[in-house]
Amino acid sequence: MNWFMIDDYMSIFANYHLFFLNSSTGWAAKLYAAPQANTFINKLVKTTNGGQNWITQICDSNSINNSIEGIYFINENTGFISLVHFGIKKTTDGGQSWVSVFNSQSCYDIKFINDNTGWVGSYSDILRTTNGGLNWIKNSVSQNCVFLAINFINDLTGWAGGGTGNFPKLFKTTNGGSVFINNISAEMPKKYSLHQNYPNPFNPTTKIRYSIPKTGFVKLVVYDAMGREVETLVNKTHQAGTYEASFNGSALNSGVYFYKLIEDDFSETKRMLMIK
């Protein structure tokens, strides 16, 4: 209802990202940019009194490519920052020192749901860790999306948003990120359809598109060559529209698999091939 200024911290710096662990302790990513003078300064600052005072923990001069795009702390000691072109860094001493835990591509928003499990948005990928950032697994979701925002409410359900140019996109997962579902068209299809996955063969990610002409409960299931269910990609009510599921098969062996769309009195099965 009401807001009051608590920090102008050298007003030449803009606050780009904020994260507060509690009412006292928080971090802010700050950027000063003067392109005409070829000057860029990126800072990470910390407060322990609710924002009244701030101390600098990271200061990087003349490198716009090192801008901090995401901040997340699990507790007062352990936290992560994501950076454009410089990946992900981790601290275990409250931000006094940082080590790189991923550095192969640009990274944006970051979210952890517990000490071990977290996600980072990137270009075309959602990165996931289940061991506190020691290793990151890529789930290639969309070749035309930069994932600038990501949030999870538990270890299974989350959303990732972003886009490219004037084409915003929002994705949702209900199985921790091995599958993200994107409603790519709200136009009502004339009939049910299940498209061939692409790419096919794939390694380890592929996309499956399907169309639903009316609201109904939808299942999309992957089976192995013996007919055993290996993963349920979709198991929920859909509105009429065309959807695309991004599937990560990194836990599967090479071989032939089948995926089946089931909705009311309709079902269709197609074959796909994973080669590692």
Question: Is the pLDDT assigned to residue 16 strictly greater than 90?
Answer: no
pLDDT confidence of residue 36: 63
pLDDT confidence of residue 28: 92
184-274 CATH choice from 3.40.309.10, 3.90.1150.10, 2.60.40.1930, 3.50.50.60: 2.60.40.1930
Same fold, 14-177 and 184-274: no
Domain 14-177 is found in CATH 3.40.50.10800: no
How confident is the prediction for the chain on average, in pLDDT?
A: 88
Q: Stretch 221-250: mean pLDDT, rounded? A: 90
Name the residue with higher pLDDT: 234 or 165.
234
Exposure string for 182-219, b = 16+ CB within 10 A, e = fewer: beeeeeeeeebebeebeeeebebbbbbbbbbeeeeebe
pLDDT confidence of residue 197: 96
What is the distance between the alpha carbons of residues 257 and 227, in angstroms, rounded to a whole number?
9
The model's pLDDT over 170-195, given as tens digits with 9 standing for 90+, comes to 888 888 887 888 888 768 899 999 99
Question: Is the pLDDT assigned to residue 33 strictly greater than 80?
Answer: no
Q: Stretch 66-89: mean pLDDT, rounded? A: 91
Residue extents of the structural domains in the chain: 14-177, 184-274
Q: Please, which pLDDT band fits residue 67 given cuts at 50, 70 and 90?
A: confident
First to last CA, the chain: 55
What is the distance between the alpha carbons of residues 192 and 240, in angstroms, rounded to a whole number?
10
Please tell me the pTM assigned to this model. Answer: 0.75
* Closest residue by Cα to residue 160 from 187, 141, 144, 133: 141
